Structure 1
Amino acid sequence: MTDHPTKRLLNAPADIVTEALAGMIAAHPDLLALEGPTGRAVVAVDGPRDGKVGIVIGGGSGHEPAFAGYVGRGLADAAAVGNVFASPGPQQIMDAARAVEGGAGVLFLYGNYTGDVMNFDMAVEACAAEGIPARSLAVTDDVASAPRDRAGDRRGIAGDFFVFKIAGAAADAGRDLEECLAAARAANAATRTMGVALTPCAMPQTGQAHFTIAPDRMEIGMGIHGEPGMRSAPLGRADDLADELIETILEDLGARRNDRVAVLVNGLGATGQLELYILNRRIAQVLADRGITVHRTWVGEYCTSLDMAGASVTLMRLDDDLAALLDRPCRTVALTVGETPTPMARRRDRPARGPAPTEERKVQSRSTLATDGTVTPQVFRAMMRGAAQTISDQRDWLSQLDGVIGDGDHGITMEIGWTAITRVLDEAPADATITDLCDRMSTAFLDAVGASTGPLYASAFAAAGAAVADRLNLDGPAMAAWIRGMCDGIMSRGGAALGDKTMIDAWLPAADAASAHDADPGSALKAAANAAAGGRDRTAQMKSRRGRSAKLGARSLGHIDPGAASACLILGSMRQHLG
């Protein structure tokens, strides 16, 4: 962490994304518009049309000009925009999908991160429920994040640029949904990226750097969310760095003499054009020496990491079809290729789709519910409000833990989610049952957060509420069942297991301990909180096997998991506010 916060031109931190999108739309009204009730779907004014596959891209903010910068004619039809370094939620994604669906289906494209995968998968399920054909593809271009035999585990970083361009061109050319997906897959298979960070970045909400990079060191193989790299190395000459990056990419790609490639030299937010062109000079030399033809080159900021200094290099090996799609005209804020056709009015032979009708919330008959137990719905509300306050108080600590092995946003996303919970607790009817409150909390958390935390805790609250659906008040066994429901919901949605270095390493011991000490709610919560603390501490000795920190391998040792830490805070606060 730095001694002094990074200076920012901000108003309220909670309004960062909303205000930035408003400014973007004001600057480019001929290209972009916001559609949908979430206010997070950036849609091309000239692009979506009947009979064309809708291309929807998306991801967290902080990577500008990605993702909204690639919305426009010939590229993406819409982008779903998440919070800083956090995936958009399913509702935000669905706003984008409904806005661009023209009868030929929707293709979702995003980087291969746990939160994005979960949220876009939920959007595919929602599309199916609404009768919208939908497919999805996670971009996996980062060679540093997994070996070639586990290419499907790789992160999506600046290679998004090429995959989005190819898919958008295929859709604009009139190809059907399966053909657009095939083109995107071909682009992804032909694209490799590797990057280096010279300085860490700082989350706008905290102004603090996630981790420290010594003045004479650099992080090789970092992601685009402020994560540390795969390894630390001495800072050397630009040519030597370029050689390492390009040689690693070429070897992994299996590039040969007479191949054609497209090149992207990408700045991460705080590296100037002078340095990027120096890198490109060397890359061009290496490719020429190897007899590899450069078809096109882009140098600049195309997929950033807030204010991180550093750069990434991306190659896409081209065949005739990929080259033709790459050259096909497009017009967006961040990328223009060729002369785009005269803008056309958006045609619709039918009204635009609105959100699917929401299911009427089931009202429980209180007369049929068990009333024994000291945890009434009013006490439960107080426990949840206490947990929300604790998460808010510990936000920066949780983000600091996450910054060492992840992207530094866990405390921020948890605070956003729990703030939304506080609002629904205030708005819920006075006679709402605990199950009803849990259902409302589930929806609020998912809509507010997205990221991986959103689906996980949304599933947790829904399952916990279902586990006590026969109760008005909670006794000891019911309190234990609620905790078990939280754990089961997280496990069913995320698939993590004990020992993966995730929040499950706190929630599962907590659930087991509560079940064994369920004489009353206080005993169950005390046992759960203590067991969760033990599980949290054990994560320091684990290598991460899930989420962004899984890419760090042994570098994740010695650090507790932030998700396990927040689980401890929730359970501890619930016990404290039991009354």
Structure 2
Amino acid sequence: MSETRDHATKKLMNSPEAIIPEMIEGMLSAHPDLLRLEGETGRAVVAVDGPRDGKVGIVVGGGSGHEPAFAGYVGRGLADAAAVGNVFASPSPEHIKEAAMAADGGAGVVFLYGNYTGDVLNFDMAAEECAEIGIDVRSVAVIDDVASAPPERAGERRGIAGDFFVFKVAGAAADMGLSLFEVEAAARRANAATLSMGVALSACSMPQTLKPNFEIGDDEMEIGMGLHGEPGMRRAKVDTADSVTDEMMEKILGEMPLAAGDEVAVLVNGLGSTGPMELYLVHRRVAQILAERQVTIHHSWVGEYCTSLEMAGASVTLMKLDTDLKRLLDHPCRTPALTVGAPPAPVAGATRTARDYAAAARAESVDRASLEAGGTVTPELFRAMMQAAGEAIAREKDHLSELDGVIGDGDHGVTMDIGWTAVRAELAAATPEDTISQTCTRAAKAFLDAVGASSGPLYATAFNTAGKAVADRLNLDAEATAAWVEGMLDGILSRGGAAPGDKTMIDAWKPAAEAARKAAKDGADALGVLQAAAEGAKAGAEATRDMESRRGRSKKLGTRSIGHVDPGAASTHVVLAAMTEALATGTA
């Protein structure tokens, strides 16, 4: 009998929408001596004793659902602040920027996060915004998961429990007063010395769906599973603890040259539902294997340090130590999830400059009289079209998440709904005088602030680029409507780096833009142009069924991704079809 995605799971929560802010509130109430909240977004968790003038700031972050990562590592001697994202979704650039402002002591800030597309995009955008306000940022993406890419493509690997060691080393280097260059170098050295591999025994479920986000048989395990339910190297029958550990260690040691007399740090990490008894069995076998090689374990940690909601399973992480890494690993720290050594003593004479988190108003006045008024798509009608797109995403969110559950982590529909719900609320409160370009700017910021997954930066850049493409227009005619669709495509291409054929939303937006431009050239009106775009997106989305994924989390599936429609391409069609229907109704 296999575990199916139709099975409903149970969670102790009040509502899915409130689960992240209420979790943060619970962490603060449990650890008031260690943590506080700063900024205006409610997502920057800051160390009570940590950030100070003259010290390099350490900012960690990622999606929720991996607790105690990431806010659990905020405290003296480790991270100065954490940006907290939604479940399995990166924090937004605004969340990250607030965490950076909290951590900044004038000596620069180091961003540390797992190597996932959404995290890379959002932390990169945050780094760009930090540069604009004078914060020097360096970024290190953790790449410890040996199962996610071969050695020759190590830079593409996922970050899993190895975050633990990289965060610890970088936090110690910063606390010891090293320079920005030295702290970044220490983080990169730890990253290069750390390898992990995991195994999953069961699925986890999103709070919004309460359904397992992948299917696995009762007697099966996934070797090399990612933290979000991404498939691993292979699926097999559940084996003994020793046999499973042997396979994980063989893969790790095949890349980590260890000789007699070498020292390592060991982390045996539970994924959420695997108890200490089983984890200690894994550690027992790890210790035996290392002893056979005459390799010394300097220190071990066994427990839940980087989880995947309620997933059952475990991972093994080794960090090969040198003198400097051992010194940094042993440096005292005190956080909710990790204490090393005695509590760090206060820094004599330490000061902290006050932060100003007030968002700078960017009021942009537009002379409406100077804009081209020809065309049937007015600003009011355009806002109605955007509202219709958001409503359609809300109706289709479960279906889109189901598509994503097959080849991704099962949250695409949920994530898109969060973003479009924010857009709908922002546009409902907007001034009627907003132009179409200003509406796009509002939509971009709302989507980006609400969504930290890869969809956030991609759609935000798309909205901004599309808005700029029609910035000289009050109303849209056929040509301008095609330009808007092309602007959406251009924005996604410029931010994401995907190409046609990679099995992403590009494979729907590109045929949509081409169909829109052809329709405009052939003399169609604005409605005809948008209808052509929607039909192009539908055909493009369906074509992804026969593609092998080459981007994002589903890339690890290889040929197993063939036969399934890409959820991002499917949601593109949902958006354009809804906008087309709203335009047809508005012009009838």
* Class of the TM-score when normalised by the shorter of the 2 chains: over 0.9
Aligned equivalent of 2:448, options 419, 435, 446: 446
User: How far, CA to CA, are the matches of 1:572 and 1:292 in structure 2?
Assistant: 61
> Cα deviations across residues 523-555 of structure 1 (Å, max 9, x unaligned)?
111111111111111111111111111122122
Amino acid at match of 1:184: A
Alignment pair present for 1:436 and 2:441: no
| Stretch moving more, 55-64 or 6-15 | 6-15
Q: What does 1:154-233 correspond to in 2, within 5 Å?
A: 154-233=157-236
Aligned equivalent of 1:318, options 317, 321, 329: 321
Contact 1:47-1:346 at 8 Å conserved across structures = no
Aligned equivalent of 1:395, options 391, 394, 397: 397
Contact 2:64-2:89 at 8 Å conserved across structures = yes
Residue in structure 2 matched with residue 460 of structure 1 by the alignment? 462
Contact 1:56-1:109 at 8 Å conserved across structures = yes
| Stretch moving more, 275-284 or 118-127 | 118-127
Aligned equivalent of 2:564, options 559, 567, 573: 559
User: How far, CA to CA, are the matches of 1:432 and 1:51 in structure 2?
Assistant: 44
Query: Shift in Å at residue 344 of structure 1?
Result: 5.5
Query: Shift in Å at residue 347 of structure 1?
Result: 3.9
> Cα deviations across residues 342-388 of structure 1 (Å, max 9, x unaligned)?
34699436433435634x33222221222222111111111111110
Alignment pair present for 1:544 and 2:552: no
User: How far, CA to CA, are the matches of 1:487 and 1:525 in structure 2?
Assistant: 14
User: How far, CA to CA, are the matches of 1:313 and 1:305 in structure 2?
Assistant: 15
Any idea what SS the aligned residue of 1:196 has?
A: strand
Gap regions ≥5 residues in structure 2:
none
Contact 1:142-1:157 at 8 Å conserved across structures = yes
Contact 2:34-2:48 at 8 Å conserved across structures = yes
Instruction: State the TM-score, normalized to the length of structure 1.
Output: 0.98
Aligned equivalent of 1:489, options 488, 491, 494: 491
Any idea what SS the aligned residue of 2:217 has?
A: coil
Aligned equivalent of 2:578, options 552, 573, 578: 573
Amino acid at match of 2:180: L
Amino acid at match of 1:401: L
Any idea what SS the aligned residue of 1:195 has?
A: strand
Any idea what SS the aligned residue of 2:381 has?
A: helix
Any idea what SS the aligned residue of 1:60 has?
A: strand
Contact 1:46-1:344 at 8 Å conserved across structures = no
Residue in structure 1 matched with residue 377 of structure 2 by the alignment? 375
Amino acid at match of 1:461: F
Aligned equivalent of 1:67, options 52, 67, 70: 70
Q: How many residues align?
A: 578
Alignment pair present for 1:412 and 2:414: yes
Aligned equivalent of 1:142, options 132, 142, 145: 145
Contact 1:49-1:346 at 8 Å conserved across structures = no
User: How far, CA to CA, are the matches of 2:560 and 2:291 in structure 1?
Assistant: 37
| Stretch moving more, 223-232 or 491-500 | 223-232
Q: Percent identity?
A: 64
Contact 2:53-2:353 at 8 Å conserved across structures = no
> Cα deviations across residues 442-489 of structure 1 (Å, max 9, x unaligned)?
111101112111100000101111111111111111111110000100
Residue in structure 1 matched with residue 257 of structure 2 by the alignment? 254
Aligned equivalent of 1:504, options 469, 493, 506: 506
Any idea what SS the aligned residue of 1:258 has?
A: coil
Alignment pair present for 1:525 and 2:530: yes
Aligned equivalent of 2:428, options 419, 426, 439: 426
Contact 1:401-1:408 at 8 Å conserved across structures = yes
User: How far, CA to CA, are the matches of 1:243 and 1:96 in structure 2?
Assistant: 40
Residue in structure 2 matched with residue 309 of structure 1 by the alignment? 312
Amino acid at match of 2:485: I
Contact 1:459-1:489 at 8 Å conserved across structures = yes
Evaluate the alpha carbon distance shift between residue 247 and residue 349 of structure 1 in structure 2; reply closer, same or farther with a 3 A threshold: closer
Evaluate the alpha carbon distance shift between residue 355 and residue 181 of structure 1 in structure 2; reply closer, same or farther with a 3 A threshold: farther
Any idea what SS the aligned residue of 2:501 has?
A: coil
> Cα deviations across residues 176-215 of structure 1 (Å, max 9, x unaligned)?
1000000000000000000011111100110011111011
Gap regions ≥5 residues in structure 1:
none
Contact 1:193-1:315 at 8 Å conserved across structures = yes
Q: What does 1:23-38 correspond to in 2, within 5 Å?
A: 23-38=26-41
Contact 1:46-1:346 at 8 Å conserved across structures = no
Contact 1:228-1:404 at 8 Å conserved across structures = no
User: How far, CA to CA, are the matches of 2:347 and 2:17 in structure 1?
Assistant: 37
Amino acid at match of 2:410: G
User: How far, CA to CA, are the matches of 2:499 and 2:475 in structure 1?
Assistant: 31
Residue in structure 2 matched with residue 273 of structure 1 by the alignment? 276
User: How far, CA to CA, are the matches of 1:261 and 1:310 in structure 2?
Assistant: 23
User: How far, CA to CA, are the matches of 1:181 and 1:296 in structure 2?
Assistant: 24
Any idea what SS the aligned residue of 2:41 has?
A: coil
| Stretch moving more, 152-161 or 340-349 | 340-349
> Cα deviations across residues 136-177 of structure 1 (Å, max 9, x unaligned)?
100000001010011100000000000000000111111010
Residue in structure 2 matched with residue 80 of structure 1 by the alignment? 83
Evaluate the alpha carbon distance shift between residue 102 and residue 227 of structure 1 in structure 2; reply closer, same or farther with a 3 A threshold: same
Any idea what SS the aligned residue of 1:34 has?
A: strand
Any idea what SS the aligned residue of 2:255 has?
A: helix
Alignment pair present for 1:237 and 2:237: no
Contact 1:227-1:404 at 8 Å conserved across structures = no
Evaluate the alpha carbon distance shift between residue 282 and residue 577 of structure 1 in structure 2; reply closer, same or farther with a 3 A threshold: same
Alignment pair present for 1:104 and 2:127: no
User: How far, CA to CA, are the matches of 1:355 and 1:218 in structure 2?
Assistant: 49
Residue in structure 2 matched with residue 18 of structure 1 by the alignment? 21
Evaluate the alpha carbon distance shift between residue 545 and residue 350 of structure 1 in structure 2; reply closer, same or farther with a 3 A threshold: same
Query: Shift in Å at residue 234 of structure 1?
Result: 1.5
Aligned equivalent of 2:299, options 296, 299, 306: 296
> Cα deviations across residues 19-61 of structure 1 (Å, max 9, x unaligned)?
0000000000000000000110110001111111110000000
Evaluate the alpha carbon distance shift between residue 345 and residue 354 of structure 1 in structure 2; reply closer, same or farther with a 3 A threshold: farther
Evaluate the alpha carbon distance shift between residue 345 and residue 35 of structure 1 in structure 2; reply closer, same or farther with a 3 A threshold: farther
User: How far, CA to CA, are the matches of 2:98 and 2:191 in structure 1?
Assistant: 26
Instruction: State the TM-score, normalized to the length of structure 2.
Output: 0.97
> Cα deviations across residues 425-449 of structure 1 (Å, max 9, x unaligned)?
1111112111110111011110111
